Amino acid sequence: GKGEYEHYMLKEISEQPTALGRSVSGRTDSARGEVTLDGFPPGAFDGIERVHLVAMGTSYHAAMYTESLLARRGVPARAYMSSEYAGSPPPEEDGTLVIAISQSGETADTIAAVRAARAERTMVATNVVGSSLTRECDDTLLVRAGPEIGVAATKSFSSQVATLSLLSERIRRDVIGEPSPDAEEFLSALTDLPDHVRQVVESDAAERVADAFADSESYFFIGRGPGHAVALEGALKFKEITYEHAEGFTAAELKHGPLALVTEETPVFAVFNGGADDTETLGNATEIRARGGPVVAVASGETPDLEETADRVLSVPSTHPELVGVLANVQLQLVAYHAAKRRGRSIDKPRNLAKSVTV
Ligand code: F6R
């Protein structure tokens, strides 16, 4: 049951430290920069040359996040919406690994993508033991988020990203022959992630931001790299449960069109990774403010000059730049939740949506 919580969604947001602990525990040796995943011992990915990630909705955003983790590790990777992949699967090439990502393991579009794939191997990262995709794929990697009841996916996204972070490092070792140069820092940041998420969940900053922008016309979300995936996910969560217009963009895309939509009535949530690319996103935020758009920065203490560039800051603990996005996403889950609650929406069962899309 929901216990002390008013909604399953809030319960599941609050459970993320525990869920993430389960996703990561026993799977790392950060002092040695090693990942140990059951069923994927060293050498398990020998011969793999590229990765295709297939998924829908929130899981597709986890796929985009993973695409950027793999690319930064020198492993060619591309995220596809399952339906598009099923419609025109890339040509057969030796060395292609298809990774399906699905909380439920029952999403019809993703099953179709795996069936259409002309790949050497298929695997699924799923939350549900024994689900259809575990039978369709050669291998299964369990995400271990625990049962998710709310229609809006929350803890499953965080646990997918954590699990696929481990997998990305494991694949990198086999494909490139050595760990990432910063594997120790990355794995130790993953181990600290539950604690960092707890700090975000315990803050009330997101609720105050949801209140401050309760009467806006549209809500925009921008970011780059992992922050782009989080921007799209932030917008999806917001539109699903508030029924307000929300859209996510890569930060650079704005001036190629969407900037025409920006006014005082359109707050823009800017996701910062806490790394070298922050400077460019700060530039984009400045362009938005110059058009009167309120900027809410979602950022760690690593990002400079936020006082001058943002109207409000949703801060998250400092961590490895590839994991700040997970923390930023929790802030955006909370913003969507409080915005929907203010509007009296049916948070756990939004109109027109089903938890698992099997047709
Ligand atoms: C969004 C949401 C959906 C699912 C999508 C894929 O909150 O829940 O977008 O993410 O239908 O579902 P799974 O992950 O079960 O394949």
Q: What is the pLDDT of residues 4-25, one digit of tens each?
A: 999 999 999 999 999 999 999 9
104 lines ligand 1 (CB under 6 A): yes
Query: What mean pLDDT comes out for the span 263-274?
Result: 98
Q: For residue 359, is pLDDT > 90?
A: no
Query: What mean pLDDT comes out for the span 94-99?
Result: 97
pLDDT band for position 32 (cuts 50, 70, 90): confident
58 lines ligand 1 (CB under 6 A): yes
- Residue at 2: amino acid letter: K
In three-state secondary structure terms, 79 is: strand
What distance in Å separates the CA atoms of residue 152 and residue 9, rounded to the nearest whole number? Answer: 7
CB 100 within 8 A of CB 123: yes
pLDDT of residue 300: 97
The first and second tokens of residue 104, run together, are 């439920």
350 lines ligand 1 (CB under 6 A): no
Q: Which of 56, 99, 136 to mutate to test the pocket of ligand 1 (most atoms within 8 A of CB)?
A: 56
Q: Which of 103, 132, 151, 154 to mutate to test the pocket of ligand 1 (most atoms within 8 A of CB)?
A: 103
pLDDT of residue 221: 98
CB 255 within 8 A of CB 283: no
Query: Is the pTM of the predicted complex or chain greater than 0.95?
Result: yes
Contacts of 177 (CB under 8 A, 6+ apart): none
226 CA → ligand 1 middle, Å: 19
Give the Cβ contact number of residue 1 at 10 Å. Answer: 7
Q: What is the pLDDT of residues 231-256, one digit of tens each?
A: 999 999 999 999 999 999 999 999 99
329 lines ligand 1 (CB under 6 A): no
pLDDT of residue 337: 98
184 CA → ligand 1 middle, Å: 32
| 225-249 b/e (C-beta count within 10 Å ≥ 16 → b) | bbbbbbbbbbbbbbbbbbebebbbb
Q: Interface pTM (ipTM) of the complex?
A: 0.99
Query: What mean pLDDT comes out for the span 169-176?
Result: 97
Q: For residue 31, is pLDDT > 90?
A: no
313 lines ligand 1 (CB under 6 A): no
